[in-house]
Protein backbone atom coordinates (compact mmCIF):
# COMPACT_ATOMS: atom_id res chain seq x y z
CA UNK A 1 0.00 0.00 0.00
CA UNK A 2 1.38 3.41 -1.00
CA UNK A 3 1.66 6.27 1.44
CA UNK A 4 -1.41 8.22 0.24
CA UNK A 5 -4.60 7.79 -1.73
CA UNK A 6 -5.90 9.86 -4.63
CA UNK A 7 -8.47 11.48 -2.32
CA UNK A 8 -5.75 12.43 0.20
CA UNK A 9 -3.77 13.96 -2.68
CA UNK A 10 -6.80 16.05 -3.56
CA UNK A 11 -7.37 17.10 0.08
CA UNK A 12 -3.74 18.15 0.60
CA UNK A 13 -2.89 19.86 -2.70
CA UNK A 14 -6.25 20.70 -4.23
CA UNK A 15 -5.13 18.82 -7.34
CA UNK A 16 -7.47 16.55 -9.23
CA UNK A 17 -7.79 13.10 -7.71
CA UNK A 18 -7.83 11.70 -11.26
CA UNK A 19 -4.24 12.98 -11.72
CA UNK A 20 -3.14 10.81 -8.79
CA UNK A 21 -2.87 7.57 -10.73
CA UNK A 22 -1.66 4.43 -8.98
CA UNK A 23 1.60 4.65 -10.94
CA UNK A 24 2.26 8.26 -9.86
CA UNK A 25 1.36 7.53 -6.24
CA UNK A 26 3.71 4.56 -6.21
CA UNK A 27 6.50 6.61 -7.81
CA UNK A 28 6.10 9.46 -5.33
CA UNK A 29 6.08 6.92 -2.48
CA UNK A 30 9.29 5.34 -3.81
CA UNK A 31 10.88 8.78 -4.06
CA UNK A 32 10.05 9.32 -0.38
CA UNK A 33 11.72 5.99 0.42
CA UNK A 34 14.83 7.22 -1.40
CA UNK A 35 14.65 10.56 0.47
CA UNK A 36 14.41 9.09 3.97
CA UNK A 37 17.48 6.95 3.45
CA UNK A 38 18.56 4.46 6.07
CA UNK A 39 15.30 2.76 7.05
CA UNK A 40 14.55 -0.92 6.62
CA UNK A 41 11.63 -1.94 4.45
CA UNK A 42 8.50 -2.68 6.47
CA UNK A 43 6.90 -4.37 3.44
CA UNK A 44 6.72 -2.94 -0.08
CA UNK A 45 7.70 0.48 1.29
CA UNK A 46 10.03 1.57 4.08
CA UNK A 47 7.44 3.01 6.46
CA UNK A 48 4.30 1.60 8.02
CA UNK A 49 2.32 4.84 8.03
CA UNK A 50 -0.38 3.47 10.32
CA UNK A 51 2.15 2.87 13.11
CA UNK A 52 3.66 6.38 12.93
CA UNK A 53 2.76 9.17 15.37
CA UNK A 54 0.24 11.64 13.91
CA UNK A 55 2.82 14.37 13.19
CA UNK A 56 5.05 11.95 11.23
CA UNK A 57 2.08 10.46 9.38
CA UNK A 58 1.02 13.96 8.35
CA UNK A 59 4.58 14.82 7.24
CA UNK A 60 4.80 11.67 5.10
CA UNK A 61 1.42 12.21 3.45
CA UNK A 62 2.14 15.88 2.77
CA UNK A 63 5.57 15.13 1.26
CA UNK A 64 4.22 12.41 -1.03
CA UNK A 65 1.24 14.56 -2.07
CA UNK A 66 3.43 17.51 -3.03
CA UNK A 67 5.90 15.25 -4.86
CA UNK A 68 2.95 13.83 -6.77
CA UNK A 69 1.82 17.40 -7.49
CA UNK A 70 5.29 18.14 -8.91
CA UNK A 71 5.14 14.99 -11.06
CA UNK A 72 1.75 16.03 -12.46
CA UNK A 73 2.91 19.60 -13.07
CA UNK A 74 6.12 18.48 -14.81
CA UNK A 75 4.66 15.64 -16.90
CA UNK A 76 6.12 12.91 -14.65
CA UNK A 77 9.60 14.43 -14.57
CA UNK A 78 11.25 15.64 -11.38
CA UNK A 79 13.85 17.73 -13.20
CA UNK A 80 14.30 20.98 -11.28
CA UNK A 81 17.18 22.66 -13.11
CA UNK A 82 16.27 26.01 -14.58
CA UNK A 83 18.45 27.47 -17.31
CA UNK A 84 18.27 29.60 -20.44
CA UNK A 85 20.74 29.41 -23.30
CA UNK A 86 20.95 31.85 -26.22
CA UNK A 87 23.97 31.07 -28.37
CA UNK A 88 27.05 31.53 -26.20
CA UNK A 89 25.11 33.24 -23.41
CA UNK A 90 23.54 31.08 -20.73
CA UNK A 91 22.04 31.62 -17.29
CA UNK A 92 21.44 28.90 -14.71
CA UNK A 93 19.33 29.44 -11.61
CA UNK A 94 21.57 29.57 -8.55
CA UNK A 95 19.74 31.44 -5.81
CA UNK A 96 20.83 29.32 -2.86
CA UNK A 97 17.70 27.18 -2.72
CA UNK A 98 17.85 23.41 -2.53
CA UNK A 99 17.68 22.55 -6.24
CA UNK A 100 17.35 18.82 -5.64
CA UNK A 101 13.65 19.08 -4.87
CA UNK A 102 10.87 20.87 -6.74
CA UNK A 103 9.74 24.27 -5.41
CA UNK A 104 6.34 22.86 -4.43
CA UNK A 105 8.10 20.43 -2.10
CA UNK A 106 10.34 22.80 -0.11
CA UNK A 107 7.91 23.29 2.79
CA UNK A 108 6.85 19.63 2.94
CA UNK A 109 10.50 18.56 2.93
CA UNK A 110 11.25 20.86 5.87
CA UNK A 111 8.33 19.38 7.81
CA UNK A 112 9.50 15.85 6.96
CA UNK A 113 13.03 16.59 8.23
CA UNK A 114 11.78 18.21 11.43
CA UNK A 115 9.53 15.20 12.12
CA UNK A 116 12.62 13.04 12.58
CA UNK A 117 11.91 10.65 9.72
CA UNK A 118 14.89 11.92 7.73
CA UNK A 119 17.91 11.06 9.82
CA UNK A 120 20.25 14.04 9.63
CA UNK A 121 22.47 13.40 12.66
CA UNK A 122 25.54 11.27 13.15
CA UNK A 123 26.17 9.35 16.38
CA UNK A 124 29.74 8.41 17.23
CA UNK A 125 30.58 5.79 19.84
CA UNK A 126 34.07 4.80 20.85
CA UNK A 127 34.30 1.89 23.26
CA UNK A 128 37.38 -0.24 24.04
CA UNK A 129 35.37 -3.46 23.80
CA UNK A 130 33.89 -2.97 20.35
CA UNK A 131 36.20 -0.49 18.68
CA UNK A 132 34.87 2.59 16.94
CA UNK A 133 31.24 2.55 15.84
CA UNK A 134 29.66 5.29 13.71
CA UNK A 135 25.90 5.29 13.17
CA UNK A 136 24.54 7.52 10.46
DSSP string, 32-47: HHHHH-S---SSSSS-
Q: Which of the pair, 101 or 55, is modelled with greater confidence? A: 55
Determine contact, residues 71/92, Cβ cutoff 8 Å: no
CB atoms within 10 A of CB 4: 25
Threshold 0.75, pTM exceeds:
no
Is pLDDT of 17 > 90?
yes
Which of the four pLDDT bands, split at 50, 70 and 90, describes residue 28?
very high
Is pLDDT of 110 > 70?
yes
Q: Which of the pair, 91 or 1, is modelled with greater confidence? A: 1
Supply the pLDDT for residue 59: 96
Is pLDDT of 125 > 80?
no
Amino acid sequence: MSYITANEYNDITGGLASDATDQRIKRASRLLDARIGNHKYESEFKLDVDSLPAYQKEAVKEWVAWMLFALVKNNDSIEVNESVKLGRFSVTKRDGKNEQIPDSLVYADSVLKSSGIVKTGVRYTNSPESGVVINV
